[in-house]
Amino acid sequence: MKKTILSIMALVTWTAPAVAQTPVYLDDSQPIEARVQDALRRMTLKEKVRLSYAQSKFSSPGVPRLGIPELYWNDGPHGVRMEINWNDWNHAGWTNDSITAFPALTALAATWNPDMSAIYGKSISEEALYREKDVMLGPGVNIYRTPLNGRNFEYMGEDPYLASVMVVPYIQEMQKNGVAACVKHYALNNQETWRNHIDVHVSERALYEIYLPAFKAAIVEAGSWTIMGAYNKIAGTHACHNDRMLNQILKKDWNFDGVVVSDWGGTHDTKEAALNGLEVEMGSYTDGLSSDNSNGYDSYYLGNAYLKMIEEGKVPESVVNDKAARILRLIFRTSMNRKKPFGSICTEEHYAAAEAIGNEGIVLLKNAPVAKKSPALLPLKNDYQNILVVGDNATRKLNEGGGSSELKVKDMVSPLDGLRAIYGDRVKYAQGYAAGQPMYGNVNEIPQEVQDKLRAEAVAMAKDADVVILVGGLNKNHLQDCEGGDRQSYGLPFGQEKLIEELQAVNKNLVLVLLSGNAVEMPWIDKVPAIVQGWYLGSMGGKSIANVLSGKVNPSGKLPFSFPVKLTDNGAHSFDSLCYPGDGVKQVYKEDIQVGYRWHDTKKIPAAFAFGHGLSYTTFEYGKAVASAKKMTADDQLEISVKVKNTGAVAGKEVVQLYIGDDKSSVVRPLKELKHFQKIALNPGEEQTVTFIVSADDLKYYDEASKDWKAEAGKFKAYIGSSSADIRTVVPFVLE
């Protein structure tokens, strides 16, 4: 409402030009570009400059004299963040800013279903409209390089192709409603340790093959209207004003016509910000009390110092106008878009969307029988009379904490709530371990005697239970899955490993539900018959978990990243500390292109659970894949088909994955790389033919010498399977 009032007031006080003319910038029937140029002609230099820096923590100004409204930005890869005070980071304390928390982006990626991504983007944009937000700061597509990264839960996994496919529908559906997506964090922001200054050095091949494709898809295919610069440096220059990343790659090579916004406080130099492609500077520290305060908004790098550079002739007029035009274009697409719909919040449709995404994102990692000739432990038997749920995460609100992705929900179904809704008073609860409260930048230390008491209580109750469901994992505390700090170790925290050992010793019917955005070490893996990766699932997470555990929903999620057996099995942790986390100044990505399953495959280091892995309550049989030809040229397309049949007793969904490997190359390449996938639904006994179209683009690598993509003639293989480690059929072919 405040935006509308300000805009109306500005219109009332606006003085028309001496020569009467149609105010094109207000006429929605005119093309946006005509409106942008018309507005530019009417603006003063100071008005153009003022567009480029914040007026509060989460807003940037328009042009009040011309009736052009401000922009309201919002943290929100997984939902619309609660209101933050105008000039500080405290919660505003509103009572009408509770929203739907959607599953974290790791869970969305684990659906391997672009339709779920489209539903996600549409739903979150409707809640943003209701809250009068113009730009949502997400989705995030930084690559999962190390399982210690505190913000991995906000991203879409380790594979650039999977992330590229999943990010596009999210952005497209969001922006159909006149809400701008802001894909982030561009680029190479793959850790939180020293994130504000670490200087990342990476090969050209790794940059183009691993770390840029999802950003490119967000811009070129989805048409994202904004993009956020990362905190870190890239080859010596901060990402928020890096000429090569912003001017050359983003704007020249990808034809980006939108706005580059700094991460909050990510700007460090006026000259670089002015000339190297940054449009809007946000979040540098201020108390906002007065315009002449040393920390005031006008003191931002793109504030008075930028204006002075222009007046001294150090910034070309074309640069000034380009920045202003891009911001105006964004305003016309969003806050001045009078055709956008009304929003809605916490609706049945949004809760259903959150539940559906959770249902498809949950990954069944392991499901073994407890004894020989007995069935697998999951789904839970209907005749269980004493179901013990253990774990802090069974009741914790995992939407709280985590940094900027924190959310304030109207409704939250916990895993304990979800199970009790199905099994009633047959469900008992024991906390089992304590994790403390989420504290940004601080760590809660729980006294050992408290942990010992909670563990003893849970173990005592487990002795008499028919089945024990331990809901554990990580949480959103600092140094867990949280912005501003990486995890300190690969194992489970808060004494959970000892809890697992003692629970298993008294009850073999143990189900472990991991709620996390990261892989964890599993030294106890052989002792736990059933393991479920449950992610952070938001408002309806408890319903989704109960749906899968009970068998109401057949799990179909697949891992978007590998689970190494031990930390040093991960590529980033296989070298010295300069590779991770760096020496405090510089970091070198020594694993190069061999990220995730590429490293495991090529180095022949098996993962505990492979990329693309995920079990079902049914079984799928793959036939022998066939190709439309044995040879292809660079101008051809090859059809590769495989029959997949549901050979089990229940309906289910399978993700059929196609990887391509180059048998012999002049450069080092991974054993295989994901190039296509399809998620199909099959009833018992039903068979479907899945067809993939392979082109020369699927065979290429980035050639550093020619600075272009190249496919070498020779022998290739198409690997088709249920995960990167579960290949069912292979088709050889030749590129001539």
pLDDT tens per residue across span 116-167 = 999 999 999 999 999 999 999 999 999 999 999 999 999 999 999 999 999 9
How many structural domains compose the chain? 3
For the segment 264-306, what is each residue's pLDDT rounded down to a tens digit?
999 999 999 999 999 999 987 776 666 556 678 999 999 999 9
Average pLDDT over residues 700-715: 97
Q: Are residues 105 and 147 in the same domain?
A: yes
Q: Are residues 300 and 368 in the same domain?
A: no
Distance CA 537, CA 106 (A): 10
Contact by Cβ (8 Å): 664, 716: no
Identify the pLDDT of residue 12.
40
Give the amino acid at 674: L
Instruction: Name the pLDDT band for 11 (thresholds 50, 70, 90).
Output: very low
Identify the pLDDT of residue 21.
55
Identify the pLDDT of residue 445.
81
The residues assigned a catalytic role are 263
Identify the pLDDT of residue 289.
64
The answer to the question of residue 376 being in a domain is yes
> Would you put residue 338 in left (φ > 0), alpha (ψ -120 to 50) or beta?
alpha
Kindly state the tokens that stand for 316. 């070309």
Q: Are residues 185 and 239 in the same domain?
A: yes
Residue 302 to residues 89, 217, 275, 276: CA-CA distances in angstroms? 21, 29, 11, 12
Which of 333, 350, 378 terminates a domain? The answer is 333
Q: Are residues 269 and 403 in the same domain?
A: no
C-alpha angle with apex 192: 146 to 181, nearest 5 degrees? 95
For the segment 15-28, what is each residue's pLDDT rounded down to a tens digit?
444 444 567 777 77
Distance CA 78, CA 104 (A): 6
Cα dihedral value 655, 558, 717, 565, nearest 10: -160
For the segment 330-377, what is each residue's pLDDT rounded down to a tens digit?
999 999 999 999 999 999 999 999 999 999 999 999 999 998 888 999
Q: Are residues 301 and 420 in the same domain?
A: no
The answer to the question of residue 253 being in a domain is yes
Identify the pLDDT of residue 380.
97
Residue of higher predicted confidence among 159 and 90: 159
Which of 561, 577, 609 terminates a domain? The answer is 561
Residue 663: other Cβ atoms inside 10 A: 11
Distance CA 17, CA 95 (A): 44
The answer to the question of residue 151 being in a domain is yes
pLDDT above 80: residue 319: yes
Give the pairing type, strands 631-632 and 727-735: parallel
Instruction: Name the pLDDT band for 8 (thresholds 50, 70, 90).
Output: very low
Identify the pLDDT of residue 164.
98
Q: How many CA atoms lie within 13 A of 369 on its CB side?
A: 5
pLDDT above 60: residue 29: yes
pLDDT above 80: residue 3: no
The answer to the question of residue 280 being in a domain is yes
Give the amino acid at 91: H
Non-local (6+) Cβ contacts of 185 within 8 A are 140, 142, 228, 229, 230, 231, 239, 263
Query: What percent of the chain clears pLDDT 90, i.e. is strictly above it?
Result: 90
Identify the pLDDT of residue 41.
96
Q: Are residues 557 and 627 in the same domain?
A: no
CA nearest to 109, candidates 175, 155, 54, 69: 155
pTM of the full structure:
0.95
Q: Are residues 90 and 192 in the same domain?
A: yes
Q: Are residues 295 and 423 in the same domain?
A: no
Identify the pLDDT of residue 422.
97
Average pLDDT over residues 99-109: 98
The answer to the question of residue 211 being in a domain is yes
Coil, strand or helix: which one is 133?
Answer: coil
Query: Can you list the alpha helix ranges (DSSP code H) found in 380-514?
Result: 415-423, 448-462, 496-506
Contact by Cβ (8 Å): 182, 125: no
For the segment 531-565, what is each residue's pLDDT rounded down to a tens digit?
999 999 999 999 999 999 999 999 999 999 999 99
Non-local (6+) Cβ contacts of 433 within 8 A are 391, 392, 451, 454, 455, 472, 494, 495, 496, 499
Identify the pLDDT of residue 13.
41
Non-local (6+) Cβ contacts of 87 within 8 A are 56, 57, 286, 287, 288, 289
The answer to the question of residue 607 being in a domain is no
Q: Domain range for residue 460?
A: 362-561
Q: Are residues 455 and 539 in the same domain?
A: yes
Distance CA 64, CA 13 (A): 9
Kindly state the tokens that stand for 546. 């109960």
For the segment 447-466, what is each residue's pLDDT rounded down to a tens digit?
999 999 999 999 999 999 99
Q: Are residues 516 and 632 in the same domain?
A: no
Q: What is the mean pLDDT of the chain?
A: 94
Here the CATH number for the domain that contains residue 202 is 3.20.20.300
Distance CA 336, CA 332 (A): 5
Bond preceding residue 187 cis, omega within 30 of 0: yes
The answer to the question of residue 161 being in a domain is yes
Identify the pLDDT of residue 23.
73
Identify the pLDDT of residue 592.
98
Here the CATH number for the domain that contains residue 440 is 3.40.50.1700
Distance CA 356, CA 353 (A): 5
Q: Are residues 395 and 286 in the same domain?
A: no
Q: Are residues 367 and 480 in the same domain?
A: yes
Identify the pLDDT of residue 5.
43
The answer to the question of residue 343 being in a domain is no
Give the pairing type, strands 530-533 and 363-367: antiparallel
Query: Can you list the alpha helix ranges (DSSP code H) found in 43-159?
Result: 45-50, 105-111, 114-130
